[in-house]
């Protein structure tokens, strides 16, 4: 089930006695966990029937003792374990002689208790008996990281749900700038919506004005200028970066450029050079495919290999290894070699 399907069931008061929300993407885990915490019980019911604990501050016996209670003046009680990955789960006994209290409860959970484990940033071990018991008697949801090329579509969907609109270019720009950290993207969008009227389209200008992306001097404009061999613009951007290193740390600029040219190299290798094929191969929004087509024309296979080698060489130098030169000068020197 998806996170939205789980929410739909919860809104229809279709509850499971056990939930294990686990995986590398915390956003969907938080979305479901927060709904359970704030919406399943009324404010009057929460006082006696809701227990919320954090994994690092509790232990399994405390959780089980809470789960074994019966609700007071309510149909259900909720026991929610946040950051469950920080809790000591104990070792499972496999000889059949020792009773595992957790496993014993998971095999016969109270139907009046909704026990929820929010296990973030990692996958729960599917080989464990505890996992299998929850899967059998409750619901297991794995929250997987969204591939980069799907982020722009997710942004458009998120904005639409909030009754706003966003253009494909703006969604792609935001996804490219923030990566696939959905919690961070959602937070930035929530702040952005405070400055945009309901129903208004969010454009690249609003993103640039409110999220700190300089309209002319950012790493994406640098990539575009390199792809077009626009020497004047490249130097203008590099001079800006040099004068504003706190806002544009060169280590991060190098990281973005390395990722960019690695994708250009993958473009050269790609067997399917259709727009959809390139989007899948490079893990990018289809909106950016033309940019990589341009870059591949400017930097052939051999030149792309050389550029990646230069990035590695100068990345070491700006970190002070085998060079005492000014970082801005090193960046200009490297750009000259890339462009010629």
Q: Are residues 12 and 134 in the same domain?
A: yes
**Residues 182-205, mean pLDDT to the nearest whole number:** 85
Q: Are residues 125 and 14 in the same domain?
A: yes
Output the CA–CA distances (angstroms, integers) from residue 274 to 143, 235, 279, 302, in the order listed.
30, 33, 8, 22
Q: Cα–Cα distance between 28 and 270 in angstroms, integer?
A: 32
- Residue 98 is predicted with a pLDDT of 54
- Residue 212 is predicted with a pLDDT of 65
- Residue 62 is predicted with a pLDDT of 96
Q: What percent of the chain has pLDDT over 70?
A: 95
Whichever domain contains 256, its CATH number is: 1.20.272.10
Residue 2 makes CB contacts below 8 A (sequence gap 6+) with none
**Residues 22-45, mean pLDDT to the nearest whole number:** 96
- Residue positions counted in the chain: 340
**Residues 274-296, mean pLDDT to the nearest whole number:** 88
Q: Are residues 170 and 93 in the same domain?
A: no
Q: Cα–Cα distance between 192 and 206 in angstroms, integer?
A: 8
Q: Cα–Cα distance between 54 and 11 in angstroms, integer?
A: 25
- Residue 308 is predicted with a pLDDT of 95
Segment 125-179, tens digit of pLDDT: 999 999 999 999 999 999 998 887 788 889 999 998 888 888 877 887 788 777 7
Query: Running DSSP on this structure, what letter comes out for residue 83?
Result: T
Number of domains in the chain: 3
- Residue 155 is predicted with a pLDDT of 92
- Residue 99 is predicted with a pLDDT of 63
Residue 105 makes CB contacts below 8 A (sequence gap 6+) with 64, 67, 68
The tokens of 327 are what?
């970082």
Q: Are residues 21 and 94 in the same domain?
A: yes
Q: What confidence tier does 328 reach under pLDDT thresholds 50, 70, 90? A: confident
Residue 221 makes CB contacts below 8 A (sequence gap 6+) with 233, 237
Average pLDDT over the chain, rounded to whole? 89
First to last CA, the chain: 53
- Residue 214 is predicted with a pLDDT of 67
Q: What confidence tier does 287 reach under pLDDT thresholds 50, 70, 90? A: confident
- Residue 232 is predicted with a pLDDT of 92
Q: Are residues 124 and 189 in the same domain?
A: no
320 CB neighbour count, 10 Å cutoff? 10
- Residue 148 is predicted with a pLDDT of 76
Segment 92-129, tens digit of pLDDT: 655 455 568 999 999 999 999 999 999 999 999 999 99
Q: Are residues 128 and 9 in the same domain?
A: yes
Q: Are residues 30 and 111 in the same domain?
A: yes
CA nearest 124: which of 113, 110, 134? 134
- Residue 267 is predicted with a pLDDT of 95
The tokens of 142 are what?
């794995």
Q: Are residues 179 and 73 in the same domain?
A: no
Residue at a domain's end among 142, 175, 198: 142
- Residue 208 is predicted with a pLDDT of 74
Whole-model pTM: value is 0.71
Whichever domain contains 101, its CATH number is: 3.40.50.300
- Residue 126 is predicted with a pLDDT of 94
- Which of 2-16, 53-67, 196-210, 220-234 shows the lowest per-residue confidence on average (mean pLDDT)? 196-210
In the numeric block, the tokens 């020497």 are attached to 231
Helix boundaries (H) for the chain: 3-11, 26-39, 43-49, 60-67, 101-107, 129-137, 148-161, 168-178, 182-193, 204-210, 219-227, 231-243, 250-269, 275-282, 289-298, 301-318, 327-339
Segment 42-68, tens digit of pLDDT: 999 999 999 999 999 999 999 999 999
The tokens of 60 are what?
């399994």
Q: What confidence tier does 24 reach under pLDDT thresholds 50, 70, 90? A: very high
DSSP-assigned beta bridge partners for residue 165: 201
Please tell me whether residue 102 adopts helix, strand or coil conformation: helix
Please give the backbone phi and psi of residue 113, each rounded to the nearest 5 degrees, phi first. -110, 135
Residue 35 makes CB contacts below 8 A (sequence gap 6+) with 7, 10
Residue at a domain's end among 142, 172, 189: 142
Q: Are residues 227 and 332 in the same domain?
A: yes
Whichever domain contains 178, its CATH number is: 1.10.8.60
* Domain span including residue 58: 3-142
Q: Are residues 269 and 162 in the same domain?
A: no
The answer to whether residues 137 and 107 touch, using CB atoms and an 8 Å cutoff, is yes
CA nearest 143: which of 302, 4, 312? 4
Residue at a domain's end among 157, 190, 210: 210
**Residues 196-225, mean pLDDT to the nearest whole number:** 80
Long-range contacts of residues 244-252, Cβ cutoff 8 Å, at least 24 apart: 244/217, 245/327, 245/328, 247/212, 248/217, 248/218, 248/219, 250/318, 250/327, 250/331, 251/315, 251/318, 251/319, 252/219
Q: Are residues 249 and 332 in the same domain?
A: yes
Q: Are residues 201 and 309 in the same domain?
A: no
């Amino acid at each position: 089930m998806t996170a939205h399907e789980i929410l739909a069931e919860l809104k229809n008061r279709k509850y499971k006695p056990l939930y294990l929300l686990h995986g590398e993407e915390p956003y969907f885990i938080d979305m479901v966990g927060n709904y359970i915490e704030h919406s399943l019980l009324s404010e009057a019911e929460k006082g006696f029937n809701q227990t919320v604990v954090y994994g690092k501050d509790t232990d399994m016996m405390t959780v089980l003792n809470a789960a074994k209670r019966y609700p007071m003046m309510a149909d259900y009680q909720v026991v929610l374990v946040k950051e469950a990955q920080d809790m000591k789960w104990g070792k499972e006994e496999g000889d059949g002689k020792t009773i595992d209290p957790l496993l014993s409860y998971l095999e016969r959970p109270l139907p009046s208790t909704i026990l929820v484990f929010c296990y973030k940033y990692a996958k729960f071990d599917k080989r464990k008996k505890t996992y299998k018991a929850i899967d059998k008697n409750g619901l297991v949801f794995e929250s997987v990281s969204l591939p980069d090329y799907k982020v722009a579509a997710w942004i458009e969907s998120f904005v639409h749900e909030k009754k706003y609109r966003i253009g494909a270019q703006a969604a792609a720009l935001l996804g490219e700038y923030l990566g696939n950290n959905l919690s961070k993207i959602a937070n930035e969008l929530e702040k952005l919506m405070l400055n945009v009227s309901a129903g208004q389209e969010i454009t690249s200008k609003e993103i640039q004005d409110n999220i700190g992306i300089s309209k002319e001097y950012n790493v994406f404009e640098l990539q575009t200028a390199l792809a077009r061999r626009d020497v004047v613009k490249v130097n203008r951007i590099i001079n800006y970066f040099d004068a504003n290193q706190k806002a544009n740390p060169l280590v991060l600029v190098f990281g973005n450029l390395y990722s960019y040219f690695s994708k250009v190299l993958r473009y050269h290798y790609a067997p399917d050079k259709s727009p959809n094929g390139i989007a899948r191969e490079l893990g990018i929004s289809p909106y950016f495919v033309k940019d990589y087509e341009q870059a591949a024309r400017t930097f052939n296979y051999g030149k792309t290999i050389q550029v990646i080698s230069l990035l590695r060489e100068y990345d070491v130098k700006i970190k002070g290894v085998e060079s005492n030169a000014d970082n801005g000068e090193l960046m200009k020197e490297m750009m000259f070699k890339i462009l010629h």
